[in-house]
Structure 1
Amino acid sequence: MRLEAFVPLVTYPEANADAFAEHAVRVGAAIDAGLHALAIEADIPDTANVLSKWLLDTPALIRQAEAASRQRGAHLLGLLRDEAARIGVEVATETVAAPLAMLADAAARKARYFDMSLIGWEAGNATSRATAEAVVFGSGRPTILLPELSDISHFDHVAIAWDGGRVAARAVADASVFLKRASRISVVTVLDEKPLEEKDAGERLAGVLRARGLNAEAVPFHAEDCPIAETLQQTAIEARAKLLVMGGYGHSRIRDFVLGGATQGVLSDLLMPVLLSH
């Protein structure tokens, strides 16, 4: 059975960059997955009073904002279809309109029906971050964050952020499609960030992966005074890994997200493609 990846396209108030369309298609090609792209358009209610309608013509401003959202969604879907046709990736597309407060939740609900989600990430784009948080913690599926300026050409080297915990184990299982295709796997373990139940946890996982015929090695290191998210990403980048696999620590209460330190750091400053699993 072929994998199906969900691709939510945010359009308002901040839209995904054009590069995300190509990134998503390249991930689909890399793992032989079909794509289902959803353009999420803004549905803005007219709650203005008589004075604001007279002074600002609020209904006209709402119509303009909704039209811009629809145009951006159609543009992104067109780019994705064109790139998919060029590379040979199957893609289905649709649009949905949702109230502003429910845009990210609309993505999370839809994501539950697919094997994984691909999320575009641009520096300073609060809309794409909110969508990422909602999908990571609300879909029950792995989510791959794809930064605008990253190289998404291949995932031959995968790094795993490993502490021997449950969430990390879930992430490794969710990343199996990438691990099977990787020519090299680095199991990255931070030795001084928190107490580890097993001091040799990284080597144990690397050994298990090697027993399955995968080329894996343990990479223990000390974070020292650097933020854990930056350290993990920089270590993976220095090893020339193309994808970092890690557990998403935290939970959500409707729209109130409580994030672990590493998860918070990655969502704030994404330096490379990251698979987050919760």
Structure 2
Amino acid sequence: MMKPMVSLSLATYPEANTPKTASNAVAVARRIGATLHAVAINVDIPDVSNALSSFLLDLPNKIREAEATSRSFGKNLLETVAKEALQGGVRLTTQELTAPPALIGDTAAEQCRYFDICLVGWAPDNQTARMTAEAVVFGSGRPTLLLPDATDVGALDHVVIAWDGSRVAARAVADARPFLELATMITVLTVTDEKPLPGQDIGERLAQGLRTRGLVAEAASIQAGARSIATAIQEYALEIGGKLLVMGGYGHSRVRDFVLGGATEGILSDLRLPILLSH
């Protein structure tokens, strides 16, 4: 049996991930018996100053300071990951890369293509983390696990699947296999009032298939009502003790201009638990 390989993309500029990202990433790798590759993506700012701007704003010095701060954040985050991995018994490799500010997300996505699962730290006010997550979800070709800074990952033993019978939802279920196989409970959740569904019993059909494979699974359905679908799904998942949400990532990228589907946009705006997104 092949050992999974997961990649952690660490944001360093202008807003860095917190140390919580490091501990959560190690917890995920340990949970599924994976090796972990942590990449700090430091900023490389092109010097476009001219003589006047250099005199008035001291741009070259400001650029050097920003790049030094970015490298310092990256170094500290990699050291934190190394410490957590050693304590958790997780095999780790690390790497430092540089990229212009506009290409940080693309650089992360390209690196993630060599691994089985991509990990991205998440904080609601960290735009760098959001940009990185969107680029990785839609550009890596790999499932992306978003790790919210506000929570400890824990065991991920109760997996909730947001299921609408779509291609991207089916892809997400396949990509979540390492977590499904270790789950003590799987809940297949269908929202019945958000859009037309391909059948009445699609949740139960998937749950039955999972049970046939030897897993513990049940189906549930809810109505979003006046809530956004992202809010309704996450509230229900937390209410039933869900530790990991699995769902398809709707949307596409037009040269880094991300056009997101409603559920994906809502999830990225208000992330409340670890979420595995597949596109």
**Could you tell me the TM-score, scaled by structure 1's length?**
0.99
Deviation digits for residues 105-156 of structure 1 (CA, Å, limit 9, x no counterpart) = 0000011110010100011100000000000000110000000011211111
Q: CA deviation at 1:51?
A: 1.4
The residue identity in structure 1 corresponding to 2:10 is: L
1:186 partnered with 2:187: yes
Q: Tell me how large the CA RMSD over aligned residues is.
A: 0.6
> Within 2, Cα distance between the matches of 1:49 and 1:198?
63
Q: Distance in 2 between matches of 1:209 and 1:101?
A: 42
Aligned to 2:102: 101
Partner SS for 1:29: helix
The letter of the residue matching 1:158 is: V
Structural mapping, 1:165-204, within 5 Å: 165-204=166-205
1:143 aligns with 144
Question: What's 1:52 paired with?
Answer: 53
Give the TM-score, by structure 2 length: 0.99
For residue 35 of structure 1, give the secondary structure of its aligned residue in structure 2: strand
Q: SS state of the match for residue 16, structure 2?
A: coil
- Tell whether 2:273 aligns with 1:265: no
Aligned residue number for residue 205 of structure 1:
206
Alignment correspondent of 1:228: 229
Distance 1:169 1:194 in 2: 17
Return the offset for 1:13: 0.8
Q: Counterpart of 2:200 in structure 1: which amino acid?
A: K
SS of 1:96's partner is strand
Provide the secondary structure at the position in 2 that maps to 1:120. strand
Structure 2 residue aligned with 1:277: 278
Q: Deviations over 1:165-206 (max 9, x none)?
A: 111000000000000000000000000100001110001001
- Measured in 2, the distance between the counterparts of 1:244 and 1:144 equals 9
Per-residue deviation, residues 61-80 of structure 1 (Å, max 9, x unmatched)? 11000000000000000000
3-state SS of 2:84 partner: helix
Render the CA deviation track for 1:246-273: whole Å, top value 9, x for unaligned.
Answer: 0000111111111100000011110110
The CA distance in 1 between the partners of 2:200 and 2:257, in whole Å, is 35
SS of residue in 2 equivalent to 1:124 = coil
**Is 1:86–2:87 an aligned residue pair?**
yes
What is the alpha-carbon distance in structure 1 between the residues aligned to residue 251 and residue 54 of structure 2?
42
Extract unaligned runs of 5+ from structure 2: none
2:239 maps to 238
SS at match of 2:43: strand
Alpha-carbon distance between aligned partners in 1 of 2:222 and 2:60, rounded to the nearest angstrom: 57
Cα distance in 2 for residues equivalent to 1:153 and 1:235: 19
Q: Give the aligned residue type for 2:139.
A: G
The correspondence of residues 71-82 of structure 1 with structure 2, limited to 5 A, is 71-82=72-83
For 1:159 and 1:151, the matched residues in 2 are separated by: 17
Match of 2:39 in 1: 38
Distance 2:181 2:122 in 1: 26
2:21 aligns to what?
Answer: 20
> How far apart, CA to CA, are the structure 1 residues paired with 2:94 and 2:152?
24
Residues 10-33 of structure 1: per-residue CA shift (max 9 Å, x gap): 100111011100000000000000
Q: Helix, strand or coil: the match of 1:170?
A: helix
**Overall identity of the aligned pairs, in %:** 57
Matched residue type, 2:44: D
- What is the rounded CA distance, in whole Å, between the counterparts of 2:104 and 2:165 in structure 1? 35
Q: In 1, Cα distance between the equivalents of 2:278 and 2:21? A: 20
Q: Equivalent residue of 1:62, what SS?
A: helix
1:129 aligned onto 2:130: yes
Consecutive unaligned residues of structure 1, counting only runs of 5 or more, are none
Number of matched pairs: 278
Secondary structure at 2:209 match in 1: helix
Q: Distance in 2 between matches of 1:151 and 1:218?
A: 26
Letter in 2 for 1:184: M
Distance 2:148 2:156 in 1: 14
Question: In structure 1, what residue type is equivalent to 2:130?
Answer: R
